[in-house]
Structure 1
Amino acid sequence: MERIILVLVLCCLEFTNAGKVLWVKDVIADIEMAVVAEQIAMNAMCNMIEKNEENIRELTDKIDNLKAHAHVEPSYTGHVVCVEENDLSKPDSDGKRTKMVNISFDKAYSAPPKVLASLHRLEIPKISHYSFEVSVKTITKEGFTIVCATRSNETIVELASVSWLSIPSAY
């Protein structure tokens, strides 16, 4: 019985705030709304923390993967004279003349790497037709072949040099 009277007394108490009459139930409702807002904010922060932790795990895995490959297999680079004094093959049925240069890596890769090759220098006399290409073929763990070619029997190449780069296939 005493508890019921206490509850009734509390419910009937008045608080004044800047001349306004505030009942206990209004104050309790405001507190409940503040608690709910705080719970929403805390849930949002927990979600952000979980997402950040997941991002950190993913980035750590990527870094570990890069470290593992960086220490195991190197990249190689080189430069080779592919054609000198027009020493290309005799023309094939399409008039194409080629020369192949085999390249060996200092140390074999665990899998065939990616290889990029580009023309470094090309000397063709003014009177010649300008037709020349560089490609890479037969890439193995141990090396690859650079192919220098003209698309015309009329192209005279005094000098052609090629630069190349090999990187592990994991990249």
Structure 2
Amino acid sequence: MKSALIATGCAAALLLSGCGEEGGKTVRADGTMAPGSELKVGERAVVPFSDAGKSGTIAITVKSVEIGPKEDLAKFKDKGEGSLPVYVRMVIENVSGTDLADTSVSVRAVDPNGKGTKVIMAGGTPACKGETAPATFTTPGATYETCDTEGVKDGSEVGGVSFVEGDGYKDDPVTWKK
């Protein structure tokens, strides 16, 4: 009887807290993903977001993380030497309904152990141009697709990507693993 009462009390406390944890993912009371959460590629994470002087809440669904061919880095000349492009295809959703037009979402490639690849690509390639949010990205449920070009050292593996912007994510990112 006592253990049933304790279990009921714990369930009520979890329900009242508004937080939940499921397989490395923790959702905070405000519905956003807690720093340090781990997801699989294909899963959706709701996160606070700010860029270009605008802020709100977005959902990021990382659709794929793929290493591209070395030839795609020809425009980088010597700066691309020894690196391979990593193409991160995402769907971005405006959750808060605030005006987030002309903002850009970026993620960082990580190795299989979740550490940064230490290769940063500025600008996209013809295979992955990186779109900014359209002018219509101002209402709840508005979405757009984009591709972020990241990098990895030639011969290395990419394990996934992380979101490191704002609200504690810089030191403890939300990570999507392949």
Q: Same fold (TM over 0.5)?
A: no
More helix by share: 1
TM-score scaled by structure 2?
0.32
